[in-house]
A = this chain, B = another copy of it.
Amino acid sequence: MTEITRVALDAMGGDNAPGEMVKGAVDAVAREKSIKVFLVGKEEAIRRELEGCTYNSEQIEIVNATEVIETAEPPVNAIRRKKDSSIVVGMKMVKAGEADAFVSAGSSGAILVGGQTLVGRIKGVERPPLAPLIPTKTGVSLLVDCGANVDARASHLVQFAKMGSIYMENIMGVKNPRVGIVNIGAEEEKGNALVKETFPLLKETEGINFIGSVEARDIPHGAADVIVCEAFAGNIILKLYEGVGDVLIKKVKAGMMTSLRSKIGALLVKPALKETLKAFDASEHGGAPLLGLNGLVVKTHGSSRSKEVTNTLIQCVTFKQQRINEKIKNCIQTDAASAE
């Protein structure tokens, strides 16, 4: 019998909820038989979206939650007060063991706070990092941490490297993933205080393939599989990727419209271009897991459409089947034991 992965999906989170969330769930269950999706949110609204959709009714269930946490709300308060919000209800399902994973395109702050306080950390994990896959010339790299822990300490970064390696090896199938620390030069003596403190620790960490410093310039070229950094730097990397990509693509399009000759050319290159650029689109690669929690919590883009939701839901199945959390637990707790 196939093991079922149960995912609580925040039907109310993100710019395109509930429509694209529900569509993402419907598409996911059509593609993957071993998943069950709980659509958490306002029952009426969800039911309306499900009307007319064809799906295996054993694979989709609505869980009513009457409140919604808005992006602008201060996260700590929101999690504490809105007990019947889709985020709180969904996370509590993970905590209670009724779901294996929670997926949301909603407020990042609330997801980070809720992940730590409602779902809880794996024993020994100091700071759970948010770890999206970012596109590179040759594939993808995992960026840990892209926004959960600003002003992180060296010991946190070492755990990021370990958890990131487990993720890339088991979810993405990268053998012996190369771990690099984001730095402002390739030499070991370069860097800020945090990098200088972390570098020697990473060098002596067993079980990871540390390749040293990675300059931001080389990240898009695929210089490392696991890119370790503090969250302020990681957030800049993630968002600048989007920003530069967005502006450049607009420039390319505008350039193609400047003359009749180029307009004709544009018609000819467009289909091929679209295909190539798809690989460089972050939303193709699903959401960002918050690593190191007692259960899986995944944040998808606020602007997620159904395709990203579907991809993320299906990633949850791999996450469960590959026993990622048990591997993280073993890795972190072995260290704690040997440190005693």
Asked if A97 is an interface residue, CB under 8 A from chain B, the answer is no
Asked if A174 is an interface residue, CB under 8 A from chain B, the answer is no
Main secondary structure of the interface of A (DSSP, over half): helix
CB–CB B266/A182 < 8 A: no
> Number of A residues whose C-beta is below 8 Å from B?
63
Kindly report which residue of chain B lies nearest to residue A229, judged by CB atoms.
B236
User: Which residues of A from 250 to 287 have beta carbons under 8 Å from B?
Assistant: 250-252, 254-256, 258-259, 261-262, 264-273, 275-277, 279-280
Most central of A136, A240, A265, A269 by chain B CB within 10 Å: A269
Kindly report which residue of chain B lies nearest to residue A232, judged by CB atoms.
B192
Which chain B residues lie closer than 8 Å to A265 at the CB level? 264-270, 272
A residues whose Cβ falls under 8 Å from a Cβ of B: 74, 136-137, 147, 150-151, 182, 184, 189, 191-193, 195, 215-221, 231-233, 235-252, 254-256, 258-259, 261-262, 264-273, 275-277, 279-280
Additional 18 contacts, C-beta under 8 A, given A217-B239, A220-B247:
A137-B247, A150-B184, A151-B193, A184-B232, A195-B232, A216-B236, A217-B240, A220-B243, A220-B244, A220-B246, A221-B246, A241-B244, A248-B249, A251-B276, A252-B273, A254-B276, A256-B272, A265-B272
Which chain B residues lie closer than 8 Å to A273 at the CB level? 252, 255-256, 262
